[in-house]
Copies of this chain bind each other. A is one copy, B any other.
């Protein structure tokens, strides 16, 4: 293992100690003791490295190197410090660790940058403790609203506000101006999919984050006795739902990449072996890099499902409860990353992100792009999350080269 790979692994394990869960993996939820310990430990580390360190009001941690020529232009990197319950060592953490090592390396090798360089350890992205995601990045870009979290609590009934205050943080002043110094954000993250692994690539250069639409589809038939109701008398909600699921997924396959359609959840009522089900509900998650395709596919399946419901004589209710547009990454930064990959000789692939990331929020404020490293077997949000240390180092090299270009070159 190279020195860089070793350094990365050592830091990942060090950071993963905060929230090390006896039931497996890392559980480091927003505004918990483990979370605060991790942020404080990172603060200490950044101080040791000689970065200019500060927390913002809500607990995002920043550590920077001031620019010698353009101190008011900031190139930022980093990711989120929170994890899901029983998460792995890489999701979020790796972006922070990689940034830490990149800034350290750049400072040691090239001294102070022309533009300010900043590492961020964002407070929250996963939405795992409270029903709110991207709390960290949304506070940076100024779209988080006090009233959105004022009345939410975690599973133990602890109010968001109390948890935040107990950690020593408080709401951002929403009337204050949003920072104007950010000129670029580059986030390195695990892919959380198996595309890089399957194509044997070490690095992904992300040019787009998919848009998502999520639906609940409710099918209403008629509950009947499984023995005494001839097939011709039935309004079988499960039969109709199954036909709909087959139809939607087949249509998605016909359209092909990058469209994905997933039926992740099914609920049947009464859900007993000897009753023809009167009610079936399923969720549908569709994603694509082009908004127009999301709109078109929504129309296509709405028509198709209504036709099936009509043919099968069941009621149908389609409810879209999430509609997030795709977020294209900044073309110039994508080019810089790609150029660096070529110069260093990395085995890379231009790709989109099928998962959501802090970058999609930051992109609303500043030019943004992402670097991916492979996820073994596509696994994430799980103690079994793993990336080969070789690939981790390849990713950090791409990050270092990119940050150098953005912060050290005219």
Contacts and interface: CB of A to CB of B under 8 A. Distances in A.
Interface of A: 191-195, 198, 210, 212, 214, 224-233, 236, 238-239, 241-243, 245-246, 249, 252-253, 256-266, 268, 270-277, 280, 283, 285, 287, 353-356, 375, 378, 380
A247 B356 CA distance: 36
Contact of A262 (B264, B276, B378): B276
B229 A194 contact: yes
Given A192-B225, A194-B229, A264-B270, 8 more contacts: A193-B230, A227-B353, A227-B356, A231-B259, A236-B262, A246-B246, A263-B277, A265-B272
B272 A228 contact: no
A271 B265 contact: yes
Nearest to A277: B264
A285 B273 contact: yes
Contacts of A253: 231-232
A243 B253 CA distance: 14
**Residue with the greatest number of chain B CB neighbours at <10 A, chosen from A210, A224, A261:** A224
Nearest to A259: B231
B268 A273 contact: no
The 7 closest A-B pairs by CB, nearest first: A193-B228, A227-B354, A226-B262, A228-B354, A242-B245, A242-B242, A273-B283
Contacts of A192: 225, 227-228
Contacts of A231: 249, 252-253, 256-257, 259-261
Nearest to A229: B193
B260 A227 contact: yes
Contact of A225 (B193, B225, B233): B193
Given A198-B233, A231-B252, A273-B214, A238 B226 contact: no
A230 B276 contact: no
B273 A354 contact: no
A294 to B, nearest CB: 13
A378 B226 CA distance: 11
Q: How many copies does the complex hold?
A: 2
Contact of A226 (B233, B246, B260, B268): B260
A238 B280 CA distance: 14
B266 A272 contact: no
A210 B227 contact: yes
6 contacts: A225-B355, A227-B260, A230-B257, A242-B246, A262-B273, A264-B275
A269 to B, nearest CB: 10
A280 B192 CA distance: 23
B265 A273 contact: yes
A276 to B, nearest CB: 5
A268 B239 CA distance: 16
Contacts of A276: 262, 264
A242 B257 CA distance: 22
A278 to B, nearest CB: 11
A264 B272 contact: yes
Contacts of A272: 264-265
A378 B227 CA distance: 11
Contact of A265 (B239, B246, B268): B268
B225 A380 contact: yes
Contacts of A266: 238, 266, 268, 271, 280
B353 A228 contact: yes
Nearest to A270: B264
Contacts of A259: 231
A87 to B, nearest CB: 13
Contacts of A285: 226-227, 273-274
